[in-house]
Amino acid sequence: MSILVVKDAANSKLRELESNASGQLKVTLADVSGLGKETTLTSLNSKVTAVDTGAVVVATCALPSGAATESTLSSLNSKVTAVDTGAVVVSGCALPSGAATEASVSSAAGSLTTLAGAVTAGVVQVSSGAVSSSASQVFTNQAIGAGLTVKSSSKDVDAFKSVCVFGSTDNTNDPLEIEVSNDNSTWFELNNHFVSVDYSSGHFGLNVDISARYIRLSKKNNGAGGEIISAIISAK
């Protein structure tokens, strides 16, 4: 008796073929009870709606709130003015207040040319113009007796920055004092300024910066004899 076997590929085994009582090959049928049948497919067919694959035509479509319509666009079109893209010609425009004009620019150019001409070796030469100055003789051969003090006439130096006091005396021992005032009435001595006299010539002189309006000299003769003094106050 022969035995027929087949290979079970799923389990890598050999299986013996069997037959039934009628001599037919014994076969195990799969369970197909869950497969769809014609009746179930027919029932499903009634539930499927055919899809139209032709062109879709939208008859009407509601616009979102605020969307432009043909009428609003037509109204807007009447308010839009065509723009001329040609050359822009400006004629007679009014300049803002303080704007430079051709004349002012030309004047400025002339000033720059003058400034350039004043530059020498990288240094600008500036002319300050005439400087105002004023000089007053406050003592003129003033005699001062022994032990006496005299005051000179005052000078208004309010319009000046620098003051020079100078002159001569035959008393070389006693210095001159400087006094200042704001009203030409009440006077104060400048304790940190006094004018020394040269012992050999009797000349004296001092440059001072004065912030007060008025200035004068005070001279005391501490000698035994008389003194003669002349003095000038010059301001610039």
What contacts 50, CB < 8 A, 6 or more positions away? none
In tens, the pLDDT along 110-168 reads 777 776 776 776 676 666 667 788 999 999 999 999 999 999 999 999 998 899 999 99
125/118 Cα distance (integer angstroms): 6
Give the residue among 221, 224, 99, 234 at the shortest CA–CA distance from 160.
234
Q: What is the pLDDT of residue 58?
A: 58
Confidence of residue 81 (pLDDT cuts 50, 70, 90): confident
Q: How far apart are CA 6 and CA 27, in angstroms?
A: 13
> Where in the chain are the domains?
134-235
Q: How far apart are CA 6 and CA 15, in angstroms?
A: 5
Cβ proximity of 153 and 227 under 8 Å: no
If one compares 108 and 218, the residue with the highest pLDDT of the two is 218
CATH of 134-235, one of 3.30.390.30, 2.120.10.80, 3.30.465.10, 2.60.120.380: 2.60.120.380
Termini Cα distance of the chain: 154
Structural element, H or E, at residue 204: strand 203-208
